[in-house]
Structure 1
Amino acid sequence: MTLLHYSCKAGAHGVGDPAAALRLSNQLISLGADVSLRSRWTNMNAVHYAAYFDVPELIRILLKASKPRVLNSTCSDFHHGTALHIAASNLCLGSVQCLLEHGANPTVRNDKGQGPAEVVPDPMDMTLDKAEAAMVAKELKQLLLDSVPLSCNLPRATLLNYDNIPGNLMLTSIGLKLGDRVVLDDMKTGTLRFCGTTEFASGQWVGVELDEPEGKNDGSVGGVRYFICPPKLGIFAPVSKIAKAVEKAPSSVTSTPKTPRMDFSRVTGKNKKEKKEIMEREKALRKKSMSVASLDPDGVKVELGDQVLVAGVKQGIIRYYGKTDFAPGYWFGVELENPTGKHDGSVFGVRYFNCMPKYGVFAPPSRVQRIQTLQKQLSNRYNHFVFVSYSILVLIACRYPPLVRSCQNPFDQSANFICHGASTREPFT
């Protein structure tokens, strides 16, 4: 990675300092920094990093100093998507607007055949506490769809706009009605409860009450209720994802009565529920095990509440460890001893821990060192130095006894004892 890459990362809002990153990037570009150079680790150039960390101010100066081909350059770490794909997948609304203003192509597809609008996270996959992110996702997707030229070969250009068609007419056109049994994605079965437009995404959506608790809601999303069902039984999907369930016709052939079969459907459901609970417990255990990180080659564990040094300068206490919404990878949340931080434990509206304003800071594991571990390392180095010093004294005493006896200022009493004790031996030949 070059200094320009690090400068773009340092401009992340809520974590870094955009103004300082902007000044440093300007200075680096004036000294001849190449915007098109890529990181060997992530294959990302500076524009990709600025888009990933949502720093539109940096994108403007980077595009001004780069060649035109950099704007739509792709990155293999994001399925050969462009900076527009990267910003869209991370809900970076400011970066998307900036890239579109500078002429980024919204029709470029990645290796999966997806355009920038198709990599925007689905609001349906977001929990209720992320309603704000869901609204940003909806606005971002609409912005990208509106930027697609009508002449290009994309689904939006070839499909009609069904937003204003009533839900009942839509269902009639595909041979369905509310209350019908339907199959979702050829896997989940349930009852059709809703069809129409929603607040969380554009277009026509259907709401289905599933037979098994494999859904995402209770018929409401973002505080808006569309139908009523028990929790975890409700799910929304595009109209194209459902089909009418085919009921098996009863056989006309009469046969002798058989022994009543046991209904294993509830048992299967119970087994599924038990498996799901086991998976959730294992996931919780893995998450708990990841809350402790090894920060040095000796394998010394660092836990929440430990005293640490951040970047070798700032002292504080670990309050959080795990993944975040503002950047990939694992991060430490540290409550500093002095108000030299950047926040109060929350970034972009997501709270990770609690502390006073300006006392919170996030840092990657490579920038955090436990104080006890550091003291132990210094102690080991000191002991090693003392051992080596005494070893050298013994060698000198054995080889040159007269020289040692003539020393006016021996190192200490122990060294003097070693020297005089060794002077009685035969010197090395």
Structure 2
Amino acid sequence: MKKIYKPEKDTWSKILERPTQTVADIEDIVLNIFNEVKEDGDIAINRYTEKFDNVVLGEILVATSEINEAVKLVSNELKEAILLAKSNIENFHTAQKTERVSVDTTAGVSCWQEKRPIQKVGLYIPGGTAPLFSTILMLAIPANIAGCKEVVLCSPPNNQGKIDPAILYAANLCGVTKIFKVGGIQAIAGMTFGTETIPQVYKIFGPGNQFVTVAKQLATKFGVAIDMPAGPSELLVVADDSANASFVASDLLSQAEHGVDSQVILVSTSKMLIDAVEKEVHTQCKTLPRKEIAEAAIANSKLMYVETDQEALALINEYGPEHFIICVEDEDYYIDNISNAGSVFIGNYTPESAGDYASGTNHTLPTNGYAKQYSGVNLDSFLKSMTFQKISAKGIQNIGNAIELMAEAEGLQAHKNAVTLRLDSLKK
């Protein structure tokens, strides 16, 4: 990890750059695949599955028999862990339900807001080197609490044409309606346009690599909404001498092992802690099964020393981390003043892994600085707010003249007439 001491503010944007390609770098590749899937449907899907996943599939829809077999392959211990996580996630997301908001804005004018589920949603679940079955819990559970009627899931197959059993178990447990063996750009394209087999959806959720992230962003050009630009994982830890260096190192490595394009950063007011964490990262990394991936991500990562908490906070808000861990003596300062972060973890005994799996909060979060304007996935992500109004005869008399004057001032005579006709009818 690169050490940086007391960086000048005018260097922050350069220092805090993510190790990812831009939309412009990838857009042509994504659009070519999108166009082929739009034109050729399942044929294009299968062509790219063979190219990128090295497998030829006869059927991309996962059969009930495959799901039943997968359920048998998942150990009872893992099933119990998943059920515990499911319960906590359900508790936290159910608590996010809100009642109808209703108000009489003036006498005779009743306005209210209600939330309705998005009918068709698509979930993208990464497979490959790390089959993220936990992401199914984070997406399918709130989708079901919200009442989404169709929940479609796409996940890349392995070279035997299968999806990890834990993914199929979790999807079946959480009420996913259809599961497809499709990954990458072609999966996003399939859910965007629909094919002979894959249904078109209204909104796409889920993390992925840089290509999936750009594909999701480009899907919005074709009338499909997305949860957020959720790309390669990232973590920023702020720590001082009250922190445990081995804990901090383990958190940094837990994100580094996600992928070679992940990024982790330590910001500290203690040079001694920085040195201790650096040694711990080196020691712990040696024993990791995904050592090579973690080492590549660590090469993109930084240990940063600043002199004050105020400077640290300003730098962190500039970065806008996906995950933000606070391990300092004055933790309230950061809790009260952090503006830009996807999810916050507080104290020496709150690892980021808890949020990834079982504490109950959602782990689908904005990356690449999008925490400055996006929220992480929550129950409202699967809902739409609809407004209603009902105006009585008395109500239109109370606000009618104001509407007429405003419509006339904007030169919209028909708007004015729609009110005038009603007001005149009440004079008879």
TM bucket normalised to smaller: under 0.3
Relative contact order higher in (CA < 8 Å, ≥ 6 apart): 2
Instruction: Name the one with the larger helix percent.
Output: 2
- TM-score normalized by the length of structure 2: 0.22
Structure possessing the higher radius of gyration over alpha carbons: 1
- TM-score normalized by the length of structure 1: 0.22
